[in-house]
Amino acid sequence: MSVLSGKNILLGVTAGIAAYKSAFLVRLLVKAGANVKVVMTPSSKDFVTPLTLSTLSKNEVFSSFTNEEDDNAQWNNHVELALWAHLFVIAPATANTLSKMAHGTSNNLLLACYLSAKCPVYYAPAMDLDMYQHPSTIETFEKLNSFGNIQIPATHGELASGLVGQGRMAEPEDIVSFLEKDILKSLPLRGKKIVITAGPTYEAIDPVRFIGNHSSGKMGYALAEASADVGAEVVLISGPSSLHLENNLVKVLHVTSAKEMYDAAHAYFDNCDIAILSAAVADYRPVQVAAQKIKKKDSTLTLSLEKTDDILASLGNIKKKQFLVGFALETENELENAKTKLKKKNLDLIVLNSLNDKGAGFKTDTNKVTLVTKDNKVIPFSVKPKTEVAKDILQHIIKQLHA
């Protein structure tokens, strides 16, 4: 999955022959999982039709402040469009539009969106060789870059005039690649390796039955997704779960038992920077596993259980540079038990949640957590979706790593 997945991208199209490539660019952005809206300069419609771009983006295309064919239509709010966007990409960006951007001219909807944008703005110049090399154009580039805009450099090739040289708009595939690399470069956990455990473990009684718990894995999967979103390379060790995650920054390992999770966690721990153990690992397992299904003969059945290996404690014993995070699901003396676990297992952070809190615990889409740091600082949070809880946890880890 691309880092563009889930991003809102506002694509600005200006009046150059390269505008035909915007259709291919929209298609690639949508394929990468982005939500795309297109804003066009009025003249750009001479080169590519709004119908084409709206069909490919699956969104209305905007080119003016009002719908001139409908006297009762609402105006197209440039501020709303600009604030919707996580990224604003102007491709192709003609010399005319770039000059207006540099000097604050706002005589069409696209330029008004640009002046209202709070997100990163990327522009892909497209013009003929002499225009590209003109001192005024070079000055425009310098001014735009000084504003914090990001140039996607034009390439060398055959131009519309028949000349060969610099000024050809970057190909749509290269624009998408440029965006992905630039986003990854700025992400706070880029280059970091994270191991995350998620879900329950099942400890076999016989070939049919097992000892397990109600964990769905939602918290761990949310942590894996959020970690990838901030640039980390993630190994997600998942116990049995119905959840699926497809992200090229996340490697998912499926395990069943506590022993399998123990082995997988130890296999990846040495080379990781951060380990977050959110799995609900079984504390006990049957001493003997029946080779055949146990038949219902007697009114009672006695099982002999033995302790499973404590994955979190074992990693705490061997950790060196790793930032180790554990979870504590408690039903009584919550904070006291969490602090004890934090110290006993040599953790850097523990995430406490209580089954007594409404909206917390297994199978829910929400959670209510309290973070307890190594120096016993207590940071409570309100009930939130697990996706937001994951972001809160990661933001704290990032702050600690950069402290």
Alpha-helical (H) ranges within 190-250 are 218-229
Give the span between the Cα atoms of 235 and 239, in whole angstroms: 13
User: Is 213 among the residues known to form the active site?
Assistant: yes
Query: What stretches of 94-200 adopt beta strand conformation (E)?
Result: 121-125, 150-151, 155-158, 164-168, 193-198
Q: For the chain, state the CA radius of gyration.
A: 27
Give the C-alpha separation, 272 to 226, whole Å.
17
CA angle 161, 162, 165 (to 5 degrees): 95
Nearest of 207, 172, 213, 190 to residue 362 by alpha carbon: 213
Q: Which residue of the set 77, 213, 337, 346 is catalytic?
A: 213
Spatial separation of the C-alpha atoms in residues 237 and 265, rounded to whole Å = 7
CA distance 300 to 366: 38
Q: How many residues does the chain have?
A: 403
Query: Residues 53, 36: contact at Cβ < 8 Å?
Result: no
CB 90 within 8 A of CB 25: no
Is the CB of residue 35 less than 8 Å from the CB of residue 11?
no
Cα–Cα distance between 247 and 403 in angstroms, integer?
A: 29
Contacts of 142 (CB under 8 A, 6+ apart): none
Report which secondary-structure segment, H or E, holds 13. Answer: strand 8-13
Instruction: Strands of 41-120 (E only): list them.
Output: 61-62, 87-93
Amino acid identity of residue 365, one-letter, is D
Contact 327, 278 (CB under 8 A): yes
Structure tokens at 378: 């207590």
- Distance in angstroms between the alpha carbons of the first and the last residue of the chain: 31
Catalytic positions, written as ranges: 213
